[in-house]
Structure 1
Amino acid sequence: MSSPASEARLEPFRLRGANFNLLVLRLLDPRVEVIVPALADQFRRAPGFLRNAPIVLGLDDLDPAAAPDFGHLTAQLRAVQIAPIGTTGGAPELRAAAQAAGLPPLRAAGGEQAPPVSAEPAPMPLPAPEPQATPEAPPPSGWQPTMIIDQAVRAGQRIWAQGSDLIIRGTVNPGAEVIADGNVHVYGTLKGRAIAGGAENRAARIFALNFEPELVSIAGYYAVRDGLGDAPLGRPVQVCLIGESMRFDKLG
């Protein structure tokens, strides 16, 4: 029989803060009938990408006067096994419409709270600077030692180096996924998916001795195999982000 002291220690739940590596789906078109088929096309080119993944909807590129049907969009995304959990950015009108459909505004870890939804007009934003090469940035506070994996990464495996760089001393097989908040180094063949820079580290890079990826992504910008253009496939490659475009440079 349990003692009164042990019963007193029982708790129905505990709450604690945690950071998660979430993808942001930037909405560039408000039409649900355009967004969902485009995502389905990406699925065909990169099987498994975003499947069953929680995502945040980015609203910064949408016209406040033409809000999407967020309820319909949420239902359609869930029908293709994508789980929208909230929104980021956007005008107050867009955030209010999304919140009414069960998508609350989210804030980045360590950032300021998203401004409250209000009917007051938002101040005019300052003009964005011209895109330019991202300068090398010092590692953020709390940065961890580099994670080193000494064997191949098999299909279905997912490895995430949280708050650090990631070194793989072997092949990343098709269907495998390697993620780092910093840089990703693959000292073998990259055949699966490589994601560097978490959600905000635009200075992160991806290095592979044999470049044959299903998908590469830096700071939320990504390219699938069919969108690699003239990247030197099968060669040693460095991937970096210039503005909002990915650049593929041959190494050596």
Structure 2
Amino acid sequence: MSSPASEARLEPFRLRGANFNLLVLRLLDPRVEVVVPALADQFRRAPGFLRNAPIVLGLDDLDPAAAPDFNHLIAQLRGVQIAPIGTTGGGPELRAAAQAAGLPPLRAAGEQPLAAAPAPAPAPMPEPVPEPPPPSGWQPTMVVDQAVRAGQRIWAQGCDLIVRGTVNPGAEVIADGNVHVYGALRGRAIAGGSENLSARIFALNFEPELVSIAGYYAVRDGLGDAPLGRAVQVCLIGESMRFDKLG
């Protein structure tokens, strides 16, 4: 007879719920021949950015009457090593067109399903006792005590990130809050991963391949007169990045 332990090992699979951080590619133009070459151009200026990354296509900025050719878009994105896995936002027509091409609509954790009927209003309650506000979910700062190597990606979810060493070329550091690099920033730094427009990037030696805050980014060729090689703070002013010397 087989033991319970051996039977447990024979189960074919297990399903578990999980949350993942995914980048959203907001489509501002429905024309595939415009979007994909623009992405390829960014790849040439920032090698490795989004390469082989799973992404979600944001549909909120598209005209519902002018849906992209999603089958063609998927093929072209895969051709430049981007893996679209679903969509977010957009009207029913856009979502249906994307789903027909194999891109299901995704929703954030805790968000109601798109087809769900609104929940009935609760019965009136007599003078409920106020409850304390729920915790914000912000976590303690993540601290990395060593250099971040080429090809390595570190994501500080729901918190700030402090790197006490160098972020080497080809490395990527991401934080939902601020990014602090107490060494040379030579790779990619992404702050405000949760669309936090007030997030900032600090580096003692500023020589990045790419910096991004809340989806706005600049590659090395687009840093203008930023003080390279100096201690720098990066912040957003409106939709523009500002590079200020520290000290």
TM-score range, shorter chain: 0.7 to 0.9
Partner of 2:37: 37
The CA distance in 1 between the partners of 2:125 and 2:237, in whole Å, is: 15
Instruction: Note the C-alpha offset of 1:89.
Output: 1.4
For 2:111 and 2:58, the matched residues in 1 are separated by 16
The equivalent of 1:81 in structure 2 is: 81
Q: CA deviation at 1:147?
A: 1.6
Cα separation, partners in 2 of 1:227 and 1:16, compared to 1, 3 Å: same
142-151 or 99-108, which deviates more: 142-151
1:117-171 Cα distance to aligned partner (Å, 9 max, x none): 789999999999999xx99999973322212122221211212222221111111
User: Sequence identity, in percent?
Assistant: 91
* 1: CA distance, partners of 2:127 / 2:46: 31
Residues 55-75 of structure 1, C-alpha deviation per residue, up to 9 Å, x if partnerless? 111112111121110110001
Q: Deviations over 1:83-132 (max 9, x none)?
A: 001111122221121111111111223x523xx7789999999999999x
Distance 1:99 1:30, change over 3 A: same
The 1:140–1:95 alpha-carbon spacing in structure 2 relative to 1, beyond 3 Å, is farther
Contact 1:152/1:171, CA 8 A, preserved across alignment: yes
Q: Is the 8 A contact 1:211 1:234 kept in 2?
A: yes
Of structures 1 and 2, the one with the larger relative CO (CA 8 A, separation 6+) is: 1
User: Measured at CA, do residues 141 and 120 of structure 1 come closer, stay the same or move farther in structure 2, by a change above 3 Å?
Assistant: closer
Point out the more displaced range, 205-214 or 7-16.
Answer: 7-16
Corresponding position: 1:130 with 2:123: no
Gaps of 5+ in 1: none
Cα separation, partners in 2 of 1:218 and 1:19, compared to 1, 3 Å: farther
Shift of 1:54: 0.4
32-41 vs 162-171, which deviates more?
162-171
Which aligned segments of 4 or more residues in structure 1 are displaced greater than 6 angstroms?
A: 116-131, 134-140
When Rg is computed on C-alpha atoms for both structures, the one with the higher figure is 2
Q: Give the aligned length.
A: 247
- Residues 145 and 120 of structure 1: CA distance in aligned 2, closer, same or farther (over 3 Å): closer
Give structure 2 stretches of 5+ with no counterpart: none
Residues 23, 199 of structure 1: 8 Å contact kept: no
- Please give the alpha-carbon distance, in whole angstroms, between the structure 1 residues aligned to 2:216 and 2:207: 18
1:246 offset after TM fit, Å? 2.4
Change (3 A) 1:19 1:82: same
Deviations 1:28-81 (A, max 9, x none): 111111111111111100000111000111112111121110110001101111
Cα distance in 1 for partners of 2:88, 2:132 equals: 24
Q: Name the structure 1 match of 2:104.
A: 104
Give the CA RMSD over aligned residues: 6.9
